[in-house]
Amino acid sequence: DIQMTQSPSSLSASVGDRVTFTCRASQSISSYLNWYQQKLGKAPKLLIYAASSLQSGVPSRFSGSGSGTDFTLTISSLQPEDFATYYCQQSYTTPFTFGPGTKVDIK
Amino acid sequence: EVQLVESGGGLVKPGGSLRLSCGVSGFTFSSYSMNWVRQAPGKGLEWVSSISSSSSYIYYADSVKGRFTISRDNAKNSLYLQMNSLRAEDTAVYYCARTSRSGYYFDYWGQGTLVTVSS
């Protein structure tokens, strides 16, 4: 199985900050990497698919990059509604493993 | 508007069974692969199972293989997860999620249904 790791596991940031977090796959997954946002008590929401494609309706302050084994999600200017947990997921092969998540909270 | 609504969760004893349902609307259900993803309390997301649009291809996580069965009824716009031999570690919120047309990401999710396995 492909293992996904994310760093950091949590971070504290302020509104307006630029934040970047990373996701690493245990083997190459090309660009089959997706990012989801989950707020407390809610279902996950797709933000980025295929490593760098912005899902329709998602603000442009979110961006993704990477290929192979190393990927990043960047929020250019953190907004109050962005405080949440972010998960990466590989869709290269089953099992479609998720990373453990990065929790973003208010500094 | 795309909607996915899970139902069937509840409290069940270890070794028991439960059948989850996911009713969908707002899209042509028969054209999309579907999935179940779960989240144990306070934990991360775990993919459980996927089924192709015509049920030709079915996949399971090792943790549920042999105990859970995914199925669908395209005439009823419904996805199912039959869960047998339930264990305490199956306690989680279970989400159904649609696979995109490209086949590589989950673009819509339901609100989830809680399954608690406890004596």
Could you read off the pLDDT of B60-109 as tens digits, one per residue? 999 999 999 999 999 999 999 999 999 999 999 999 999 998 878 999 99
Q: How close B51 comes to chain A (CA, Å)?
A: 12
**B95: contact with A, CB 8 A cutoff:** yes
Say yes or no to pLDDT of A106 above 90: no
Say yes or no to pLDDT of A107 above 90: no
**A91: contact with B, CB 8 A cutoff:** yes
**Whole-number pLDDT of residue A52:** 97
Closest CA in chain A for residue B45: A98
**Whole-number pLDDT of residue B105:** 96
Report how far Cα B92 is from the mean position of its chain's Cα atoms.
11
Closest CA in chain A for residue B36: A96
Closest CA in chain B for residue A48: B105
3-state secondary structure of A81: helix
What is the C-alpha separation between B61 and A18, in angstroms, rounded? 36
Question: What mean pLDDT comes out for the span B15-34?
Answer: 97
**A55: contact with B, CB 8 A cutoff:** yes
- The answer to which of A18-22, A59-63, A103-107, B35-39 has the lowest mean pLDDT is A103-107
Residues from chain A contacting residue B111 (CB–CB below 8 Å): 42-43
Say yes or no to pLDDT of B29 above 90: yes
**Whole-number pLDDT of residue B102:** 82
Report how far Cα A73 is from the mean position of its chain's Cα atoms.
5
What is the C-alpha separation between B7 and B113, in angstroms, rounded? 6
